[in-house]
Structure 1
Amino acid sequence: MGHREDLLEGAKRCLLEKGFLRTTARDVVKESGTNLASIGYHYGSKDALLVQAYVSLIEGVGESFDPGLGGEVTQPPGSLERFHEMWASIIRAVPESRAIWLLSFELILQGDRIPQVRKLLAEAQEEGRSGLVSMFSGVPEPDLDKEAVETEGRFYQTLLNGLMVQWLFDPDSATTAEQLTEGLRRTIAGAAKS
């Protein structure tokens, strides 16, 4: 690995251990075995490096959500069964990704204090929405239309963020895939009556 990759890996470890606000450039340099000048050269700033490290961590979590990686998706896209299958997969991944979700909420709660970071993360959210739509719909990300990402993606992202709050706060009472699916089924049935 070169300095760029070493910095990224070191930054990821620092984020998981110390969080965003407590990680210093010196922490990253020590963890990565590089030097301070490398941060500016490769990423422009410590905050830009930490944002890239965070996005990389979140992408890894997203990949662990997708049962399709192992060829395990069994339900047709758009079905309630697929909806259930995907949420069950997401929930199974929560214990291994707890530290990353805690980091996410640190960033949400501290966003006003680090506006330049908040802006970078807001831009990265669209990619997250796109990935979620792709998982649930079975449509590859490059083939998704913008309207699907802006509507369905926001719907899934809202559910995901709410679900993660529940799982971080009290896993024993958090919503299950079965409850989410039944809630959606009832919502659809209610909408069909009107």
Structure 2
Amino acid sequence: MGHREDLLEGAKRCLLEKGFVRTTAREIVKESGTNLASIGYHYGSKDALLVEAFVGLIEPMGEVFEVPPGTGSADAGDLERFRAVWANVIRTFPEFRAIWMLNLEVITQGERLAQVRELLAKAQREGRSGIAALFTGIEESELPDDVIDTEGRLYSTLLNGLMVQWLFDPDSATTADQLTEGMRRVMRRAATTA
């Protein structure tokens, strides 16, 4: 590995151990076996490196969320698929708790992480696109903008709320079955009042 990759891996380890706020450039350098100048040369800033490391930690989780082919239909209203995706998401909370805590840190410490927040805000559209693809069964590259900007936003909002519940108190957090039943009732009520 070169310095760029070493820095990225070192930054990932620091994020998991210390989070965004407490990770320093010197700790990343120590963890990666590189030097301070390498951060600026390869990433421009410590914050840009941390954002790339954070995204690198999150991206593989999308594969864990995926449902097996044939689970539900490609219809976004398919509740079997809805339940299966949420069940997969919920399974990640204990195993990937450190990564979910990083998400929460960005939300709660955003004012102290202005550059990090700004860089991650730009990545939100990709997140909405990825999560919409999971629930709709439509290939991400083929998702229409209106699906990303509506359904993607809905699923992202649900994900953030679920994350907070599971990090705060897993014993009382909403389950995939409860979330699906809630959605079923909302859909039924909407259909009868339309």
Q: TM-score, normalised by structure 1?
A: 0.95
Which residue in 2 is equivalent to 1:74?
71
The answer to whether the 8 Å contact 2:21/2:112 transfers is no
2:189 equivalent in structure 1: 190
| Structure-2-length-normalised TM-score | 0.95
1:133 maps to: 132
SS at match of 2:22: coil
Matched letter for residue 9 of structure 1? E
RMSD value, Cα: 1.1
- Separation of aligned partners in 1, 2:28 and 2:190: 52
What is the CA deviation profile of residues 138-183 of structure 1, one whole-angstrom value per residue up to 9, with x for unaligned ones?
Answer: 1111111111111000100000010010100111111001001000
Match of 1:85 in 2: 84
Show the 5 A alignment for 1:23-62: 23-62=23-62
1:177 is aligned to 176
Question: For the residues of structure 1 that align with 2:113 and 2:176, how far apart are their CA atoms?
Answer: 35
Give the AA of the match of 1:114.
L
Q: Could you say which residue in structure 2 is the equivalent of 1:151? A: 150
4+ residue runs over 3 A deviation: none
Q: Percent identity?
A: 67
- Hey, what's the Cα distance between the residues in 2 that align with 1:103 and 1:119? 15
Task: Kindly provide the CA deviation profile for residues 5-34 of structure 1, in whole angstroms up to 9, marking residues without a partner as x.
Answer: 111111000000011011011100111111
What code does the residue aligned with 1:18 have?
K
- The aligned amino acid for 1:13 is R
How many angstroms apart in 1 are the aligned matches of 2:63 and 2:119? 21
- Deviation sequence 1:37-86 (CA, Å, 0-9, x none): 11111100001000111111111222221234xx5x52212211110111
